[in-house]
Structure 1
Amino acid sequence: MTSSIMFRSPEARARIAAWFDRFHEKLPVPTRSREVATRFGATHVLIAGPESAPPLVCLHGALASSAHLMPELGPLLARYRVHVVDVIGQSVKSADVRLPIDGPAYAEWLTDVLDALGLARTHLLGVSWGGFAALRMAQVAPARIDRLVLIVPAALVSGSAWQGLTRIAIPMALYRAFPSEERLARLVSGLFSTHDDMWCSYFGDAVRSYRLDFRPPPLATPASLAGFTRPALVFGADDDVSFPGAKLLARAKELLPHAETELLEGCRHSPPTDDAFRARLCGRITRFLGSDAARDAADVAPPPAPPGLAAPVA
């Protein structure tokens, strides 16, 4: 049997697949599963919401899946036809491959997904690693995006190397080597805003099951996003070790001058998983996606690229 690129063993993959089913069983709305073909391999999509509603495509973070993100979307599921895509290389439900992080591969993959879903243009939401993939789409195929929502996205800023080492990397290495409840608690305390037994247990298994992909995605530049003029909404978390919130939002304003930004106060990289936070976050996103002012802002001409810089595709 060919060894897995993403998982440490067949048993590890089965363990994560079982977790997908557990999260899926808790979804509050009916869903439809689709598997679509892309040039990089099969990709799973979980779909919910009224069929006649505007489309919203969502990309989850690393070590997660569509079943993890779907319940966090709360009220959005009643107002949009939500397609949560299992990000290739980061979900047990899509092909067991890892895409290059330099160049247009992630945008090409997502273009194939949208084509298969029959979506010429859509709202696009990306969380963490999914935010990196969404930014790649904005760089390479901006015409496919109506409005863009980024939640603690990768590829805008880097955090403190020392804090990343002491609060995330070392606790993760210790837990992988010598798993215990105490070490898991220390690890999740640096990442999670609230304690959720199911999420924490899953994360412990994910950290020990995946072959972790620590490649830092290349940071976007003003030139690379010069062709993207659609409305954008960017959320940063004020206690995010990986992508510090204030720094992230300042960078977002530099890259996307017409973007709306919002700092999630008292939040680490993984936002709260309670109903009150979901309602607040999704209410803000709904107002943005339905805003006529946001649509009008898209007609403002983009600022010129800095002298001497072209607008590269990737």
Structure 2
Amino acid sequence: MKTTNVFKSQKGKEDILKYYDFMVNQCSFSYERININTRYGNTHIIASGDKNNPLIILLHGSGMNSVMWIKDMEKYSKNYRVYAVDILGEPGRSAENQLPLKGDFYALWLKDVFNSLSIEKASLIGISLGAWLSVKFAVSYPENLDKLVLISPSGIGPQKASFLIKALFYKIFGEKGMDRLCYKVNGNS
């Protein structure tokens, strides 16, 4: 399995992780930071809420990390036990290696997270890549899923060459061309 690292430079990594820690330390609610080992590497999690409450797992999008969920966690943790999980290979505190999108790698990784946290069943909320991952997990492990919330799950997967050619054609015409493309795709402006 070929993997790639997310950070392009050591300085970039340091800056992102410094900001990550700054944002987490600004939380006005109680939380804990958990590190667990999975078959694909270390996974970092920000957790909050009563451990006896129903469970929610938050999965961020590509190019992001769990800090994006901080404001949501504050609200959700009043009624739920919330786990914001840094996805492997994204610019957070989990292992830096990106897993291949093809195959069951991400579903197996998330199953490892469930097992390490002794979670039998939880609701998943995912945005973009996190939504895609939530669907992969739901298909592979429906018995572990309570509810599924998908935010902008599109865009993960191979695109048809014919669409890419059309998109490039409309891009030539600037904003008006892109508006026309959006109309063709969505049926509205």
When normalised by structure 1's length, the TM-score is: 0.49
Secondary structure of 1:150's aligned partner: strand
What is aligned with 2:79?
A: 79
Deviation at 1:27, TM superposition (A): 2.3
Deviation at 1:87, TM superposition (A): 0.6
Deviation at 1:29, TM superposition (A): 1.2
Residue pairs, 1:29-178, within 5 angstroms: 29-154=29-154, 161=164, 162=167
What is aligned with 2:28?
A: 28
Contact 1:126 1:133 in 2 (8 A): yes
Q: CA RMSD in A?
A: 2.5
Question: Which one-letter code corresponds to 1:45 in the other structure?
Answer: I
* Structure-2 separation of matches of 1:118 and 1:40: 18
Deviation at 1:48, TM superposition (A): 0.6
Deviation at 1:156, TM superposition (A): 7.3
- Unaligned stretches of 5+ residues in structure 2: 172-181
Secondary structure of 2:150's aligned partner: strand
Residue pairs, 1:261-280, within 5 angstroms: none
Question: Which one-letter code corresponds to 2:138 in the other structure?
Answer: A
What is aligned with 2:19?
A: 19
Give the structure with the larger strand fraction: 2
- Unaligned stretches of 5+ residues in structure 1: 167-240, 248-314
String of CA shifts for 1:227-253, please: whole Å, max 9, x gaps: xxxxxxxxxxxxxx8xx8x69xxxxxx
Secondary structure of 2:136's aligned partner: helix
Contact 1:28 1:71 in 2 (8 A): no
Secondary structure of 2:38's aligned partner: coil
Secondary structure of 1:63's aligned partner: coil
Moved beyond 4 Å, runs of 4+: 155-161
* Structure-2 separation of matches of 1:32 and 1:94: 15
Deviation at 1:155, TM superposition (A): 5.6
Deviation at 1:70, TM superposition (A): 2.5
Deviation at 1:73, TM superposition (A): 4.1
Question: Which one-letter code corresponds to 2:80 in the other structure?
Answer: Y
Contact 1:47 1:83 in 2 (8 A): yes
Question: Which one-letter code corresponds to 1:76 in the other structure?
Answer: Y
Deviation at 1:72, TM superposition (A): 3.0
